A and B are shown apart, each in its own frame.
Chain A
Amino acid sequence: MKLKPATLRTFTSVHSWVGLVAGFALFVAFYAGAITVFQPDVQRWANPHATPSTATLAEAQQLLDEVLAQHPEARDHVGMTFPGYEMAQPMAYWQDSDGTWLFASPGNTAGSPAEPDVAPLPELINELHYALGIPRAGTWLMGVVSLLYGVALVSGFVIHLPRLAKDLFALRPGRNLKRFWQDTHNVIGVLSLPFHVMFAVTGAVLCLLLVAMLALNPLIYQGQLMTASSAAMNTAPTVAKAGTAAPLASLATWHARSIAVAREHGDAAFEPGYLKLAHAGDAHAVVEITGSSPRALGGGSVALDAVSGAVLATQLPGSRDANHATLAATYALHFADYGGAAVRWLYFLLGLGGAFLFYSGNLLWIESRRRRRQAEQGRAQLHMARATVGICIGVCVAVSAAFVAAQVLPMLGWNVATGQRWACFGSWALCALWAARRAPVKAARELLWLAAIVTALVPVVHGIATGWWLWRSAAAGHGGLFAIDMGALAMAFAFASLARAVARRARRDQPNSVWAGTVA
């Protein structure tokens, strides 16, 4: 395809600017997101009771009964996870009269605003991923970042288009560092393009869906979107209360019915995950059971009459309508909720590759503005180098610090949720401050060594705090625990290798650069 030089120039500057603005946020989102792929495993790893046995349906029934008896608000609407869905214990949740979500677990049915028996580590990493840890507005910010990311993908693809086929597998190391970074950036960008396109779209949907619905409702849906969207997104029909009392069927009945109904629809591997129950105690009580279907893109759900157990509606893989198929696919694609462990590892690797894509973009920007014939470099390049080092390497330190804190703080008897936030955001801020005051190459080397050390501590503190050293996890067959500890060691090794590479560059390579050891 032939493009006018002017168009190519415009798209190059669009790509640079959008990349610079969104790149930092995307680095954080991809680094934290790669770890969030293993959220249930991180939950098990961070929980002091590393291997609790899964609760029974009878225990879940008791939890539901107690919650419904003690909390009248829960009778209107209550949600509950089945034992073994993400956590070994079931958990019930509902909104009290002023809209606050309350949570309950077996033996803890008073209703607390914090999720019981849940380690705060996975949620912290997840917040970094979807909101950079910024409450409320962070999600919208990341939605805008997703849109900018989409623009960067299109513009990057367009400027690379003329040389796309020729340079696809070119990776030219050597003295021309700009060409080397360009090759690396292009090869990762092109080969993982479908993955990135998917994340730009699903990321924007997850962050901005409600805003988009509010904006588009009067424009193209004649103001009827909000009433119509309930049927498009839920499985259970909206039913009015009958006003007459009737006892609920048992949890075991719903569980068995949903599996049987899914089987009738050809979904043999349906595993109930969580339920939504409306109008408990009324003759028109409705229960919607959502489950996973390992062999489909996104799970399905079955809505039952909660009293008689009769089927009201289904949205199961293979027989669901376009709305539910699209919604399930959007979620499954974003959350790697299909294809089992192989897909999750693929997401993890592509996620780290994505983080590197944004990092290499910044390096490329600096390298293409380098003054080769003089030691003095531009202020903008220097600031960019400092920011790249401080924010990107800093967040790697911060995430590992949060992992270490998750194991160390319970031993000290401190508040884990608060302490872990301080460890994470405190270490991140210190790293950024350190990078702002040092020569970029020195800061990069030192922060990479720091990242290596803190990450190497992750399996050590886990072993000390819980006794689950990696060889013991491996011997007992706890693959998730073993993989996290082993993954931390591999990452520590990678950080150390990068630190050595940075030191080599400062020593040997080209002196006229922001990365030269002499730049202050």
Chain B
Amino acid sequence: MWARASAGVVPGFFLAAALVGLGCWVLPGPWQSTIVAGLVAFFPVWIGVICAAFRFPDGKQAWGWLGALALLGLGLLWLLQMSGWVR
């Protein structure tokens, strides 16, 4: 229980950040126009990820999957930002 809860909180935080970031930057228009909506949406997205973490059979898998998805998401976001494909 604790292992899955901490997976939702720690790597889940970075995954939620990546999801919100991708949403805000990939949407058409400048990223500045989604600042408030992104910050507000971050909290329910994080809550959703924390709850989803409990669907994994054990803590190891939860940490592994959420951590990998967070790295992948943030990596993709940074790649898009660096390459200038999103702005």
Does A pair with B?
yes
Which residues on A are within 8 Å of B, measured CB to CB? 7, 10-11, 13-14, 146-147, 150-151, 154-155, 158, 197, 200-201, 204-205, 208-209, 212-213, 215-216, 219-222, 225, 228-229, 231-233, 321-324, 326-327, 330
- A321 contacts which chain B residues (CB < 8 A)? 33
A147, B47: Cβ atoms closer than 8 Å? yes
A200, B47: Cβ atoms closer than 8 Å? yes
Which residues on B are within 8 Å of A, measured CB to CB? 1, 5, 13-14, 17-18, 20-21, 24-25, 31-40, 42-44, 46-48, 50-51, 54-55, 74, 77, 81
Please name the residue on chain B nearest to A202 by beta carbon. B40
Given A219-B74, A220-B20; A204-B43 close (CB under 8 Å): yes
CB distance from B30 to the nearest CB of A (A): 9
B33, A322: Cβ atoms closer than 8 Å? yes
Residue of B1, B20, B47 with highest tally of chain A CB at under 10 A:
B47
Q: Is the interface of B mostly helix, strand, loop or mixed?
A: helix
A323, B37: Cβ atoms closer than 8 Å? yes
CB distance from A363 to the nearest CB of B (A): 24
CB distance from B56 to the nearest CB of A (A): 10
Query: Once bound together, how far apart are the Cα atoms of A225 and B33, in whole Å?
Result: 12
Query: Once bound together, how far apart are the Cα atoms of A488 and B73, in whole Å?
Result: 53
- B74 contacts which chain A residues (CB < 8 A)? 219-220
- A326 contacts which chain B residues (CB < 8 A)? 36-37, 40
B34, A154: Cβ atoms closer than 8 Å? no
Query: Once bound together, how far apart are the Cα atoms of A232 and B13, in whole Å?
Result: 24
- B50 contacts which chain A residues (CB < 8 A)? 147, 151
- B48 contacts which chain A residues (CB < 8 A)? 154
A11, B39: Cβ atoms closer than 8 Å? no
Query: Once bound together, how far apart are the Cα atoms of A204 and B44, in whole Å?
Result: 9
CB distance from A160 to the nearest CB of B (A): 14
CB distance from A7 to the nearest CB of B (A): 6
A154, B32: Cβ atoms closer than 8 Å? no
Contact of B54 among A14, A324, A327 (CB under 8 A): A14
Please name the residue on chain B nearest to A158 by beta carbon. B51
Given A147-B47, A155-B51; A330-B40 close (CB under 8 Å): yes
Given A212-B39, A330-B40; A220-B77 close (CB under 8 Å): yes
